Amino acid sequence: MALPPGMLPEIEPVSRESTAAVIARQLRDAIMTGALPPGTQLGETELAARFQVSRGPLREAMQHLVSEGLLRSERHRGLFVIDLEPGDVYDIYAARSAIERAAMLRALRGGDRDRIADLLEQTVAEMATAASEDDPGALSTADLKFHEALINASGSKRLVRMARTLLIETRMCLTALQSTYQRVEERVEEHTKLIQALRDGDEDTALTLLEAHMEDAVQRLAPGTSLKDGHAPPVPGNA
């Protein structure tokens, strides 16, 4: 209490994060960016050696990722990075559509629309920067950040929690099918229009644009499917 407030802002224990959390985050990033391609088997012993920790904390990290849906565990067989099938692309975007629609609604009605819009515009600026530097990875990251910010702005703990995995999976989709075939200006434009509708408090437009945004993405990543159908086609196959 002898310390004057304002100094040493946010002093925190030297190790704020648990070891397992650190490992989980690193693996998450590796999966997200494609450093660990889908289907890869993760050996506990090998990873424990690489991270310089025993198998205990590592197992905890793995379990965490399993329950998040990023890893698939086969008993007595091993852990594998999930591989996204065409149907999953549909499923991910359908779920995202539900979550982000709700987040948008809360942002629209919860007040502070301008503040939220400002935050979002910041991420769009990042997108523009990444686009001008021709860095597709950074572009995708900024894109995701936009949606993450939107959901955070909803103020709903549970929407945020549920969206975390979805956004990672989205990133996996974008990494796997890196050819987005979309002009960057168009991509930025969609987000900008979304912000404008939010700023205006125009619910119908905002929700419609959001839906269209998702629909666009699905049709780009998994041609032939549409969110408007109730179910994804069983398996497009390898035709």
* Contacting a second copy within 109-138 (CB under 8 A): 109-111
How many angstroms separate the CA atoms of 176 and 169, rounded? 10
How many angstroms separate the CA atoms of 80 and 76, rounded? 12
Q: Closest distance between a second copy and the C-beta of residue 105, in Å?
A: 7
How many angstroms separate the CA atoms of 200 and 196, rounded? 6
Stretch that binds a second copy, among 139-147, 170-178, 209-217, 222-230 (CB under 8 A): 222-230
Residues that bind DNA in the complex, under the rule CB under 7 A: 13, 15, 18-20, 41-45, 53-57, 59-60, 73, 75-79
Position among 18, 41, 182, 208 found at the interface with a second copy (CB under 8 A): 18
Beta partners for residue 221, in sequence order? none
Position among 25, 72, 101, 220 found at the interface with a second copy (CB under 8 A): 101
Q: Closest distance between DNA and the C-beta of residue 13, in Å?
A: 5
Any contact of residue 208 with a second copy (CB under 8 A)? no
Q: Closest distance between DNA and the C-beta of residue 104, in Å?
A: 36
Stretch that binds a second copy, among 34-42, 105-113, 125-133, 175-183 (CB under 8 A): 105-113
42 secondary structure, DSSP code: E
Q: Give the residue among 171, 210, 218, 173 at the shortest CA–CA distance from 190.
A: 210
Q: How many CB atoms neighbour CB 184 within 10 A?
A: 16
Decide: 51 and 23 in contact? Cβ < 8 Å: yes
- In the complex with a second copy, the residue whose CB is nearer, 106 or 193, is 106
What is the SS3 assignment for 236? coil
Stretch that binds a second copy, among 103-111, 127-135, 192-200, 215-223 (CB under 8 A): 103-111
Q: Give the residue among 171, 115, 129, 114 at the shortest CA–CA distance from 147.
A: 171
Beta strands in 55-157 (DSSP E): 71-74, 78-81
Instruction: Find where tokens 């209490």 sit.
Output: 1
- In the complex with a second copy, the residue whose CB is nearer, 102 or 184, is 102
Q: How many residues bind a second copy (CB under 8 A)?
A: 41
Position among 99, 131, 209, 222 found at the interface with a second copy (CB under 8 A): 99
Position among 26, 33, 40, 63 found at the interface with a second copy (CB under 8 A): 63
Structure tokens at 63: 């379990």
Any contact of residue 207 with a second copy (CB under 8 A)? no
Walk across the sheet containing 71-74 and list its strands.
Answer: 41-42, 78-81, 71-74
Residues that bind a second copy (CB under 8 A): 18, 20, 56, 59-60, 63-64, 67-69, 75, 88, 91-92, 94-95, 97-99, 101-102, 105-111, 155-159, 161-162, 165-166, 228-231
